[in-house]
A = this chain, B = another copy of it.
Amino acid sequence: MKNTYGVSVSVTLFGESHGPYIGAVLDGLAPGIKIKDDYIRKMLSARAAKSSISTARREADEYSIVSGVKDGFTTGTPLCILIPNSDTRSGDYGETQYLARPGHADYTAECKYHGFQDKNGGGHFSGRITAALTAAGAICMSALEDREIKIATHISRCAGVCDREFDDLTADFEILGNADFPVLDAAAGERMKEEINAAKNSLDSVGGILTTAVTGFPRGAGEPWFDTLEGELSHMLFSVPAVKGVEFGKGFELADMTGSAANDEPVSVNGEITHRSNNNGGIVGGISNGMPLLFSCAVKPTPSIAKKQNTVNLRTGENTEIEIKGRHDPAIVHRAAAAVSAAAAIVLCDMLARRYGTDYLSGNKD
């Protein structure tokens, strides 16, 4: 069950960077959910490389859904999403293919797959596979929105530049829905892009932090042990390539807070229980409390850089140097934003279906 995740709603990923297709099987969605192609395309477009700050590789990301949809609605059976790899250039079949790119999975893939792995473009480890994850997640996001559950992710930090924090989520989601570059403060976004370009010019790369908010998520979902909302979300989020840290609410800042400052006090407002603060990111005891879900992902700098690096030839075992040619992203944090929202949406659909049954998301009645 390696490439499959989820219980009631699950996703299975397959494909390699330079194979004919990458894709995903999305299973467990209720029948009767409307498939919105515009929505999916917008998410894929947000994930796609673009403008001066991304790789020059262009993918049309023309997906097709070959099962599980009829007349524009989910049937309740698994959706298989196929995305052809159109812009694959011929692989490097010389000695370079044996040079482990630092920061990449080339060496660990060799340990695990004994040389049988597809090395072209990173193979199954390629960030390209997130296009399939994003497409599957976009369908889940759209289904959640139909139930007034909304997700948005912004770059809260990139190359030392901070975006402003989430404030009025309704307004902020509107901003992010229209943004070409996922930040709340456009000026901060411009400075981030400058830093990204500067890194590119130095033949280097930069990382960042993504912060996600979810509104409208029902209270009472999640489990106290093991299948906590935090555990389920982080399990998924660490699959988004380059994510090396996940925190909820104030996360690592909580380590320096006192209990009296950190505790979110419940308060009754017009007969409904809410909380005076949201330091726990909407999750206490592993279970949602009705506040917006808040979490952040640390994204490491893109490992592919043009600078010369030391490495090992995996065939000969000799120490050598590597200069990675080709098309690289000096940052992927802006592209990862879409993947993070989409990936989280799959988990949230699963947690709702587990708790409320498989028809919850569509509102079908027996």
Contacts and interface: CB of A to CB of B under 8 A. Distances in A.
A2 B207 contact: no
Contact of A102 (B68, B82, B246, B263): B263
A319 B111 CA distance: 46
Interface string A213-244: 00000111111111110111011111101011
B108 A289 contact: yes
A39 interface: no
- Size class of A's contact patch? 35 or more
A301 B258 CA distance: 6
B27 A114 contact: no
Interface centre among A13, A255, A279, A317, by most chain B C-beta atoms within 10 angstroms, is A255
A83 to B, nearest CB: 11
Given A104-B285, A258-B205, A267-B310, A245 B247 contact: yes
Interface string A98-109: 001011110111
A123 interface: yes
Contacts of A125: 224, 285
Interface string A1-30: 111111110101111100111110101100
Contacts of A25: 3, 12, 14, 25
Contacts of A134: none
B226 A239 contact: yes
Contact of A77 (B124, B202, B241): B124
A107 B273 contact: yes
Nearest to A287: B108
A100 B266 contact: yes
A259 interface: yes
A248 B245 contact: yes
Given A159-B256, A258-B301, A224 B366 contact: no
Given A112-B220, A252-B209, A300 B257 contact: yes
Contacts of A116: 31-32, 70, 73-76
A121 interface: no
Contact of A268 (B250, B303, B312): B312
Contact of A247 (B219, B244, B249, B358): B244
Interface string A295-333: 000111111110101111010011100000000000001
Contacts of A22: 67
7 contacts: A15-B80, A67-B124, A124-B224, A226-B235, A239-B286, A251-B298, A356-B357
Given A77-B224, A354-B357, 8 more contacts: A3-B27, A8-B354, A15-B67, A75-B116, A75-B123, A103-B263, A220-B366, A230-B243
